[in-house]
Copies of this chain bind each other. A is one copy, B any other.
Amino acid sequence: MSRQSHPKSIVSTSALARHLGLSRWTISRVLNGHPEVKPETSRRVREAMDELGFVPSLLGRALRGSSTGMIGVCFQAIGLPIISRKIATLQRVLREAGFRALQEVTDGNPDLELTVVKHFLAMRVDGLVLVGGIGELHSSRILGLIEQHRVPVVMIDPMEPFDLPTVELDREEGIRVVFRHLFDLGHRRFATLGIHPSVPWGKVRCDALRRVVEESGLSVADDLVDLNDPAAAELNFAYGKQLAARYLELTRRPTAILAINDQVAIGAMLHLQEAGSSIPGDVSIVGFDNLDVSSHIRPTLTSIDQHIEEIMESGVSTLVAQRERAEPLRRAEVVRIAPQLISRESSGPPPV
């Protein structure tokens, strides 16, 4: 049909139009599914696009006014299994909503955070998702940029509260549910592993635990043993083992252990088992995050599921709502998603 069967490279609607003997406006109409194109013409254009591998430039399209369809997503860190699940879920939810994710990881480096947000704005993204919040150093700069550009934005699970639309896990409720579960099983003395104000989302959990302990008529001083090492680099297996060793040194051992996350819980469980303890016969253990591995180890681990899917769906809805209202910022609007207790073998009644 065409004069040359494999022309060099067609990278613009004009070139394609020339190739087909049409005007570039017709190509644009086909691209945008306008109804006024003759079906035969439309078919010819589509076939040529396929054959020549023509992909219309999003740069040109977005520049002319239509939106980019891209959402800038900023993560603090990567590598932890729970973060991987967040990333994967958010990407899927965004795709299902017709967006594409532009992802960046900042490793908590504030300079990088500023660079990344500027880059997102330079790409003229349709929205911003900030997962885990942002560092303090440039936070006012970043908030200023967001306001100046009137770009829809949502914070997911920030460590500190920001004056931006936010969706977060209700960690206080998570602690409450876990404590209630253990209390109802009969436990009256508790050890915490790694639950310290200095770790991510540690403070809200510390505070919640103290509150619920007192509400239950127990004493924070006597019935709650706080085991942690503020110098710990990572909240991993090794840390759990280390803290479990300290638990074993206690003279009057609590009958239930609440760990900062599943890794620490599992590390502790392994150490206690090695030392001859029975779980939950001698001591109950509960984690936080409900990792895949937690349903596979023996005993299976009681944990708190973050309902990541629900969080991300709510976050994306928040973004969409801001776009539709053409009223980008609804500040201090916080949605809290309730976590779910997954009760498994590692928690049971205390020894008699």
**Number of copies of this chain in the oligomer?**
2
* Contact between B236 and A53, CB atoms less than 8 A apart: no
Distance from A261 Cβ to chain B, minimum over Cβ atoms (Å): 14
A145 within 8 A of B: yes
**A residues 47-69 in Cβ contact with B at 8 Å:** 52-53, 55-60, 62-63, 68
Contact residues in B for A83 (Cβ distance below 8 Å): 84
Out of B62, B104, B144, name the residue touching A100 (CB < 8 Å): B104
Distance from A61 Cβ to chain B, minimum over Cβ atoms (Å): 8
Contact residues in B for A84 (Cβ distance below 8 Å): 78-81, 83-84
A58-B122, A296-B238 known; A148 vs B52 contact (CB < 8 Å): yes
Out of B53, B91, B105, B292, name the residue touching A149 (CB < 8 Å): B53
Distance from A68 Cβ to chain B, minimum over Cβ atoms (Å): 8
* Contact between B88 and A55, CB atoms less than 8 A apart: no
A121 within 8 A of B: yes
Contact residues in B for A100 (Cβ distance below 8 Å): 104, 119
* Contact between A63 and B57, CB atoms less than 8 A apart: yes
Distance from A97 Cβ to chain B, minimum over Cβ atoms (Å): 15
Contact residues in B for A292 (Cβ distance below 8 Å): 234, 236
Output the nearest chain B residue to A267 by Cβ-Cβ distance.
Answer: B296
What 1/0 flags go to A197-212 for Cβ under 8 Å of B? 0000000000000000
A150 within 8 A of B: yes
Distance from A194 Cβ to chain B, minimum over Cβ atoms (Å): 15
